[in-house]
Structure 1
Amino acid sequence: MKGEAGSRTAPLRPSDPARLGRYELLGRLGEGGMGTVYLARGADGKLVALKVVRADVLDDEFRRRFRSEVNRARQVPPFCTAEVLDADPDHERPYLVVEYVDAPSLSTVVSERGPLSPANLHSFAIGVATALTAIHGAGVIHRDLKPSNVLLAPGSPKVIDFGIARAVDPTSRHTDTHQMLGTVAYMAPERFGPDSGTDVTQAADVFAWGAVVAYAGTGRTPFAADSPPVIAARILTQPPNLTGLVPPIRDLVERALAKTPTERPTARELLDLLLGATSDRSPELAAALDRQPDLRVAAEEAQAATEPHASRHLTAVAVPGYLADVAAGATEAAGPATEAETPVSPAPTVPAPPPARSGRAGRIAVVAVALAVLVTSLTVAGIAAGVLPLEKTGSPPAGATPSATASTPSGAPSTPAAPPTIVSPPPSKVVMADPLTKPGLWPTREEPGQLATCDYEDGLVVTRGKQGPYRCRGPMDPFTDFIFSVDVRLRTEGTCAGMWFRFAQNAGYLARICPEGFYVATHGVNDAAEVTVLRTMLFATPIPLDTKTRVAITVRGSSIALDRDGYRIGELSDTTFTEGRVVLGIYPEITEHQPPFSVAFTNVEVRTITGR
């Protein structure tokens, strides 16, 4: 469903099948909690995306659910969605075949180029509303609408991954009431509770539409915070931060983000307002749609294929001047696709909530219960690992040894903050060294469009004016087994340094140096923005602000070890990348702290390992 052909597709592994049914598998596009997505070629020679279910989740109940969901997904018309082409629920490894969309995701475009322009934002909002209208018209709830699941394909956006959606059937037992799918920042308030599995309706997708459109227009989520529980609390209790959005889009987003599901418009109502009646369509909107005929046709066909719901509270009059304010023009954005699929695992049973209470005390009780459910679900189901892989997990007090289970994403084991040990480095020789006091191996760089600079001021100072990673230009020499070390100073709150290694063709390993610990990940396995945490290594004492810390990364074969000030913090083993260059840069935390973010590097050194 996502990814790009060629260099953006990971090679097949020895354990991967060469064929499934009549499809030849060509490479890996992604991997998530439900299975693996492959780039495949059909008998007609066309490329498709083929999702194979993991063997360890298969049982009779799962096969029944999968068959039901495939039948529903096949009923979704391809109006701004990736079309479901084929499926075999009865295969030894059940699989789903969908249209292959070779296009960048919204998350990549925003990360690389910043928020969409008002004209592009309006077209984007129409496209996603069109997709939801089609999905809901087939009786399906997406449940995982987020920026990485919207691809900016030529002609119109494409919403993907509704293959994990659940049929809208109040009598269905197919969805475990404690399953939590989706990214926290885009989840509706009603999804944070012990009965979330039965209470979710199509209105939850409309809430996600509002959060996704807000992200597209501002570059941030409307309830951004430094941890999933705090994000959930803000979704439950706080108004959205829509600074940067302007009417009329802001008005629709605000209504879509209403706390109460019944106060939100339906997807069809959103689409009607975004398009306007054909006879009342403004010249500006008509011209914009004429420049995107695929989008216009898809939106109008979605309208024709679905019955409009009675408008409860949202009408053209309620959003004055909406059509007149629509900016003309819509240019296509470009860039690589991003993000792995969201892991899906059942969460444990939790205690029933206390009896409802009125007033402020009642709201506090509801929030407390919801956060308890969310924290438990995040820990066990691994949502934090899959969809917020590099989020801050909390700084432990000095001398504390935090619980690995409570601090670490599922699937990304942690090294607890136990007393560190000194480890003798292997035999090596210096092959690259730079004090980083003036331009040399790392030249200066300035990119106003990225709000980023690499300059010199008491070291190589990397500054970033928004969220997201930024890498400085540096030497291109490839290394295999080596020790990569540098002095790091985190100069501002919310800053994490980035050290990329074995990095080639925009893919490699990433070590993120944050105040509370190291986060080691793969970066760019399937696309340039996909980050998957391999290991979290927390410190017993956090790195103080603007204090020099020596970080060393020892890479030998499949072994990766990280040291802080000469002490071993943690190790892991991985074979994804074997050779590449070293890179310095910045990767701000998802935090309440405001940009600019800044980190300084001095005394960088690379030593090749000469012995075992």
Structure 2
Amino acid sequence: MQITPLNPEDPRSLGDFELLGRIGQGGMGQVFLGESLGGEPAAVKVIKPSVVDSESRQRFAQEIEVLKTIWGPRIAAFLGADAEAEQPWLATEYVDGPDLARHVTTHGPLPSVLTAALGAILAEALSAVHAQELLHRDLKPANVLLGPNGPKIIDFGLAAFTESTISLTAPHQVVGTPICMAPEQAAGVKPLTAAVDVYALGALLLFAVAGHYPHEAKTPYMVFHLVTDPGTAPDLSGVPDDLAPLLTGMLAHGAEDRPSLTEVVQQCRSVIEAQGMKIAQARRRLTAHTTERRRHRPAPADSVPTVAWPTPANDTPVTEISPAELETPADIPAATPPTLIETAPGPADAPRPADTPAVTPTDEPNNRPAAARRDRPAPGRRPPTDPRRTPEPKPTHTLRHSVQARRTADRLRTAYAAKAPF
């Protein structure tokens, strides 16, 4: 997951969370990397001011209540929220890894045994969601993060209680992602059942192992037509033989013809065990596989652009820096934590964040002019005051930073310096 600096207009804190950078954005909101008072990293989701109204607040409040209700090792944990704030926000566990869509696009499809492991993990996680009488309703590759401890499901913004008669959508209005949407959901059938998440999981696994979705077309409306047409079978080209029966059942047009999530887990285990492997071993291999690909393979040239941290004053192109590259090299000693100061915005085409690490060259006695060395005060003594020198302005405010945040900023600075072309 790539992080970019805050923009000058971004908030610096929300609730008890200090915001450190941007993670991503969508049509409704922005997601920031935040940090709690105790140093816990968090993904802080904020509704854009331009779309804040009574309906968006109500939907946001529903997402908060859903996250308070569910829990599990494969669900990004709820950390805090305020739906009534001027800028409604929601904080969840930060998962340091790309989503499944980006991983497959960058590194290619997963092997069948690892896809089966992913299916077993996510099916078990969805079973816990359904046990709380909830449906996700928007499961897709972009909502599965591949973290260092395995995959986790995020974004319950469209989740709904299975028996609820309350809806935030108008009659005949359909919400969700068409490429992973079950036929009955696309057709506006209500109430929906757990089978919609089974279909979405099947579409997700098809993309993971074959790199495409059950139905693809040029426009969402054409996709809707293909999904709801019982005479159009899903495209299972490229699916390995051992996964074809499972995905065929999960992507059945009729909800009653799809397997339960428990049956999905059992079939995924059978695929894994047929290759002489245990489920726990396959899970570990899945995490190791996604972590290794992320660490050693560069991002594609057409990936989402990021801004170097900090943004250089000139327009010289710089190499992007991702969180995976922030590990301190063994041969580089830990540097003094940087100081954050208030800075003015840069040129209009390259805005600087309001708070960036101030990089000061290390004083090396052998590289300093003799006059400069003579001017240095003795240890323990304050430097003399020069009446001709204008005192530097003090920063207007100071942000608190934990040791983890300071180390992260320092590693960004080190990685940036190592990759800068000048």
Q: TM-score range by the shorter chain?
A: 0.5 to 0.7
d(CA) in 2 for partners of 1:235, 1:82: 30
Structure 1 residue 21: Cα displacement:
0.9
Whether contact under 8 Å (1:214, 1:222) holds in the other structure is yes
Identity %: 33
More helix by share: 2
Q: In the alignment, what sits opposite 2:220? A: 228
Structure 1 residue 48, shift from structure 2 partner: 0.5
Structure 2 residue 11 is matched with structure 1 residue 17 = yes
On the 8 A contact 1:127/1:158 being kept in 2, the answer is no
**Aligned mates of 1:157, 1:216 — CA distance in 2:** 13
Pair 1:179–1:236, CA change in 2 (3 A): closer
Q: Is the 8 A contact 2:76 2:93 kept in 1?
A: yes
Residue 162 of structure 2 corresponds to residue 205 of structure 1 = no
One-letter code aligned to 1:138: Q
Residue by residue, what CA displacement relative to the aligned partner does 1:312-338 show, whole Å, maximum 9, x if unpaired? xxxxxxxxxxxxxxxx9874224569x
Q: Please report the TM-score for the alignment, with normalisation by the length of structure 2.
A: 0.65
- TM (normalized to structure 1)? 0.46
**2:150 counterpart SS class:** coil
Offset at 1:131? 2.3
SS for the counterpart of 1:103 is: coil
Other-structure match for 1:499: none
Change (3 A) 1:282 1:185: closer
Change (3 A) 1:177 1:28: farther
1:219 alignment partner in structure 2: 211
In 1, Cα distance between equivalents of 2:80 and 2:167:
25
Distance 1:185 1:113 in 2: 21
User: Any idea what SS the aligned residue of 1:17 has?
Assistant: coil
CA contact (8 A) 1:72 1:139 kept: no
Structure 1 consecutive aligned stretches of length 4 or more whose deviation exceeds 6 Å? 468-471, 478-481, 574-577
Distance 1:146-1:88 versus aligned 2 partners, 3 A rule = same
Unmatched 5+ stretches in structure 2: 304-311, 325-346, 353-422
Asked if residue 115 in structure 1 is aligned to residue 109 in structure 2, the reply is yes
What is the identity, as a one-letter code, of the residue corresponding to 1:213? L
Of 161, 182, 192 in structure 1, the residue corresponding to residue 186 of structure 2 is 192
User: Residues 247, 79 of structure 1: CA spacing in aligned structure 2 closer, same or farther, 3 A cutoff?
Assistant: farther
151, 157, 162: which one aligns with 2:151: 157
Counterpart position of 1:54: 48
The residue correspondences of 1:372-451 to structure 2 (distance < 5 A) are none
Q: Distance in 2 between matches of 1:202 and 1:56?
A: 34
Show CA shifts across 1:268-287 (max 9, x none): 332243346xxxx9585663
Q: Which amino acid is the alignment partner of residue 121 of structure 1? A: T
Aligned residue for 2:72, secondary structure, equals: coil
Question: In the alignment, which residue of structure 1 is the partner of 2:290?
Answer: 333
| Aligned CA-pair RMSD | 3.5
- Report the CA distance between 1:123 and its aligned residue: 1.0
Measured at CA, do residues 72 and 209 of structure 1 come closer, stay the same or move farther in structure 2, by a change above 3 Å?
same
Higher strand share: 1
Aligned residues: 316
- The corresponding residue for 2:319 is 505
- Offset, 1:199: 4.5
How far off its partner does 1:140 sit? 2.2
Cross-structure match for 2:417: none
Task: Give the equivalent residue in structure 2 for 1:287.
Answer: 278
How far off its partner does 1:218 sit? Answer: 0.8
Which residue of 142, 148, 156 maps to 2:136? 142
State how far apart, in whole Å, the 2-side matches of 1:234 and 1:469 are. 32
Change (3 A) 1:146 1:165: same
Corresponding residue for 1:263? 257
How far does residue 288 in structure 1 lie from its aligned partner after superposition?
4.1
CA contact (8 A) 1:288 1:329 kept: no
Q: What residue in structure 2 maps to residue 84 of structure 1? A: 78
- Counterparts of 1:506 and 1:143 in 2: how far apart (Å)? 35
The alignment partner of 1:78 has SS state of coil
SS of 1:158's partner is strand
Alignment partners' CA distance in 2, 1:99 and 1:220:
29
2:186/2:227 contact within 8 Å kept: no
Distance 1:177 1:141, change over 3 A: farther
1:93–1:330: structure 2 CA closer, same or farther, 3 Å change rule?
Answer: closer
Residue number in structure 2 paired with 1:598: none
Per-residue displacement from partner, 1:288-330 (whole Å, max 9, x unpaired)?
Answer: 414646xxxxxxxxxxxxxxxxxxxxxxxxxxxxxxxxxx987
Looking at structure 2, the residues matched to 42 and 282 of structure 1 have their Cα atoms a distance apart, in angstroms, of 42
**2:25 pairs with 1:31:** yes
Cα drift, residue 143 of structure 1: 2.1
Work out the CA distance in 1 between the residues paired with 2:242 and 2:274.
16
Q: What residue number does 2:414 align with?
A: none
